[in-house]
Amino acid sequence: MRIFKYLLTLAIVLFCLKGNSQHVASTYAIYGIGELNNNGLAHNEAMGGLGIGMPHRFNINLQNPAWLTYNQLSSFNVGLQGESRTYKSELENASKKTGSIKHMVFFIPLLNGKWGSAFSLLPFSTTQYEVSGSSEVTDATPTESTDNTFIGSGGLSQFAWSNGFRIFNSTNIGFNLMYVFGAIDKQNQSSLASDPSSIGYYTQLSSNETYKSFLFSIALAHKMKINETHEMNFGITYQHSGQLNGLKDVFLSRYIESSLVQVGSPIPISNEENTTFDLPKKLSFGLSYGLVDEYRIGLDINLANWTSNGTNNTLIQNTQEFIIGGEMTPDRRNITNYLKRVTYRFGFNYGKLPYLVQNNSITEFGINFGASFPVAGLSTLDIAIKLGERGTIENGLVNESFMQMVLGLTINEKWFIKRKYN
């Protein structure tokens, strides 16, 4: 009955929020397949995305599935994300608020301490932007310019099967098998700045890309005891460069600016044309140190080699991300002081985006914090807040500052166990 109440509450929340499927709105999502997302849940996000070297008994770790052997309870996790983002350039400022479902995860401990398996639905990339500007028409006499608007929507999702296996007392291996799917819509609208007609027209080049592909990654984790109470943990994950395969439709349309009425029929340019997007080789390292169930601090380093495939675009670069963070639970067994049973988290992250914009690297810095609040038994309400900034207003670029909040619910229960009565 308790599980039914939880799932009923979840269904109501999903129904209320189903109208909005985007949770990140960045101008830099105009490149490639949009804003790439990590596999972090709310407790990871509260530490800046930390997780490669961070085992946890009561939280699901999708960033390094080798740690799943340490989860002894069946778990269900759902997360919602909201964001407020401000854009600044040399010409103007703007802001936007978004929100959506972030993830759903179900974990089962198949063999006690030897095999843990999870199924998850998460965003893989998000495309939501609207950027305007002007450009000169090449070789036009007299000089002419166009007003341009670039609009993107949609994104890709991933359904993942994650597994962790214990091969020695303190050493685990794991893997993620991911099915990536979804659609991205892009519109490029252009009109002459000095339209001689009294009506005013603009042309729109529209493209729709749909992708369906499988990806695979492997993981390794090792736990080392320093003494009877403290431990050091190491983790590593690797994903070989993969390729997303899809189909692309492109067509050209003409509209009246004042009424947005389409003039004539769209002109097809391509229909179900094969398209691909090359993903990088990704290698991540993580380590943590701490006292079990009391505190833990850690460091993650994420490396992505985008230039080895050389087929996407020349304006890309290899990326590095550095994350440092930790968590602390004052006294998990304290029954008189609720706040001492809360797990508090913090983290900092710094990294590069893969795309070079006008030959400029775009970096991002974030300050992260949050907490897990016990709600029933070993279940928790998880909150993560990130204050971040990326880009600059120099060289015609855009500076973005944002606040993201992730709200997660982790339900830990002993499901699928036959009860015994005396």
- What are 232-258's pLDDT values in tens digits? 999 999 998 889 999 999 999 888 876
Q: Is residue 421 part of a domain?
A: no
For residue 9, what pLDDT band results from cuts at 50, 70 and 90?
low
Residues 38, 178: Cα–Cα separation, whole Å: 13
Between the CA of residue 20 and those of 16, 198, 210, what are the distances in Å?
Answer: 9, 38, 19
309 pLDDT exceeds 70?
no
Q: Is residue 196 part of a domain?
A: yes
Residues 236, 66: Cα–Cα separation, whole Å: 9
For residue 5, what pLDDT band results from cuts at 50, 70 and 90?
low
Q: pLDDT for 45-91, tens place per residue?
A: 999 999 999 998 899 999 999 999 999 899 999 999 999 999 998 88
Q: pLDDT for 292-306, tens place per residue?
A: 889 999 999 999 998
Q: Is residue 104 part of a domain?
A: yes
Domain housing 93:
2-413
CA end-to-end span of the chain, whole Å?
Answer: 23
In this prediction, what percent of the chain has a pLDDT beyond 90? 58
Question: What's the number of domains the chain is made of?
Answer: 1
Q: Is residue 281 part of a domain?
A: yes
4 pLDDT exceeds 50?
no
Residues 349, 323: Cα–Cα separation, whole Å: 4
Q: Is residue 418 part of a domain?
A: no
Which CATH number characterizes residue 21's domain? 2.40.160.60
12 pLDDT exceeds 50?
no
Q: Is residue 422 part of a domain?
A: no
Q: pLDDT for 105-150, tens place per residue?
A: 999 999 888 999 999 999 999 998 888 877 776 666 666 677 888 8
Give the mean model confidence (pLDDT) for residues 164-190: 94
Give the mean model confidence (pLDDT) for residues 188-196: 73
421 pLDDT exceeds 80?
no
Q: Is residue 57 part of a domain?
A: yes
Q: Is residue 51 part of a domain?
A: yes
